[in-house]
Amino acid sequence: MTGNAFLTGLILSITTMAGIFLNIPFSIIENRMNMKKVLQVVLLFYSGLALLYPQANSFILLLVLSIGRGLASSFLWLTSWAYIFTYTDKRAKGKETGFFSDMNDLASALSPIVGGFVSILSFFLPFYVLSLTSFLAFAVVSILVKEIPKPEKTSVRLQIAKLSGYMHDRRFVKTVLLVIVFYALINIYYSFLSVFLNDEGISIPLIGVILTVALLPAVSLEVPMGHLMDTHGIRKTMSIAVILTTLTALMIPLSSNFFYMIIVVTAFTVNYTMIFIALYSRMSDIMRQDKVVMTGAIATFKDLGYTIGPLLAGTLIGVISMRNTFFLVGGAFILLLPVVLLLHD
């Protein structure tokens, strides 16, 4: 649609750019709302928004839709994780966080291959499928989600004061740094890996196969990974995961062979998933009682990373090529290691 790597990066990053400015205000507002109703409204909005994408035949229309998706994503992410952080048992935070992530990644594992093959029938059909699944999710939430935390009546001024207090907590600052760097790097892969594979001559349906097969082992291992972290500690587990993620990321651009890609992308996905679970386990551990508001704060830094990633990649691709960008970004994962080594379980 854009025909330009930088504009593609801008479209992909604008979805999360809105979250940088809105996640904290949204979390303060949501802390005083009924979470179930928030989920219902957001899922209905998603369902309608997906129907508009096939009509977006210009850069401006795509930009507007991406902003709308960014607003909806902020509320959906905040509400979902606030539920998890509210009910997570501190003694089993890794296992329980891993289970929620497991279910999320199961959907992610199915979507590339389903989307790839559905697009053979019609390029726009995946958007209609998204609309249908969003509506089905709305129905599931309406029928099955019963337990709803009571909206808190804490004043806005007090909630802002709590946020300021966290920013002076070294544990929180280290976690924030990890979140920004990790999400900046990983969103480059989320955004451009399929483009890179297609440029290497791999067809869209086969790309869907690669991305789905790569996620399946990660999905099956997330709960054991969480148990491993609960047993051996976040610092040790994340250090190993960072090293393995860096090595496998550097291997991705070395060959365009289909079977090679399946093996390497699968190994990369399993390794970065371990980092993901470790980060969320740590977030749950340091948030204490301020789950909703602090979820908004973490989401702001996550979206900052998500925004930086595609913009940086779009710029680098135009200067040093797609392949060299993936080499550079892959090696950059090692930047997480010094911060991880400073963590205390």
Mean pLDDT over all residues of the chain?
A: 79
pLDDT confidence of residue 245: 96
CB-CB neighbours of 260 under 10 Å: 13
Residue 149 exposed, middle or buried by CB count within 10 Å (0-12, 13-18, 19+): middle
- Domain containing residue 45: 5-341
Q: Residue 273 above 60 pLDDT?
A: yes
Better pLDDT: 56 or 157: 56
Contact assessment for residue 187 and residue 311, using Cβ atoms and an 8 Å cutoff: no
pLDDT digits (tens, 9 = 90+) for 287-316: 655 555 566 677 778 778 888 888 888 888
Assign 242 a pLDDT band (cuts: 50, 70, 90): very high
Is 70's pLDDT higher than 70?
yes
178-213 pLDDT, tens digit per residue, is 989 998 999 898 888 988 998 889 988 888 889 888
Q: Which range has the worst mean pLDDT, 83-87, 246-250, 296-300, 329-333?
A: 83-87
- Looking at the chain, the whole-number percentage of residues with pLDDT higher than 70 is 73
CA distance 342 to 225: 21
The pLDDT value given to residue 326: 93
pLDDT, position 111: 74
Residue 289 near residue 295 (C-beta atoms within 8 A): no
Q: Tell whether the model's pLDDT for residue 239 goes beyond 90.
A: yes
- What pLDDT sits at residue 241? 93
Is pLDDT larger for residue 161 or for residue 42?
42
pLDDT tens digit string along 225-236?
877 877 888 889
- Return d(Cα 4, Cα 307) in angstroms, integer: 17
Mean pLDDT over residues 20-48, rounded?
Answer: 73
**280 Cβ partners below 8 Å, 6+ apart?**
81, 97, 101
In which element (H, E) is residue 302 found?
A: helix 291-320
Domain tally, the chain: 1
For the residues 324-331, what does the mean pLDDT come to? 94
Say whether pLDDT at 155 is over 60: no
Q: Any idea which residue has 């029928």 for tokens?
A: 143
The DSSP letter of residue 52 is T
pLDDT tens-digit profile of 98-148? 676 667 767 766 776 777 778 778 878 888 988 999 999 999 888 887 665
CATH number at 307 reads 1.20.1250.20
Residue 53, pLDDT score: 85
- CA of residue 35 relative to chain centroid, distance: 20
Q: How far apart are CA 116 and CA 134, in angstroms?
A: 19
- % of the chain surpassing 90 pLDDT: 21
pLDDT band at 280 (very low <50, low <70, confident <90, very high): confident
Q: Within 13 Å of residue 184, how many CA atoms lie on the same side as its CB?
A: 20
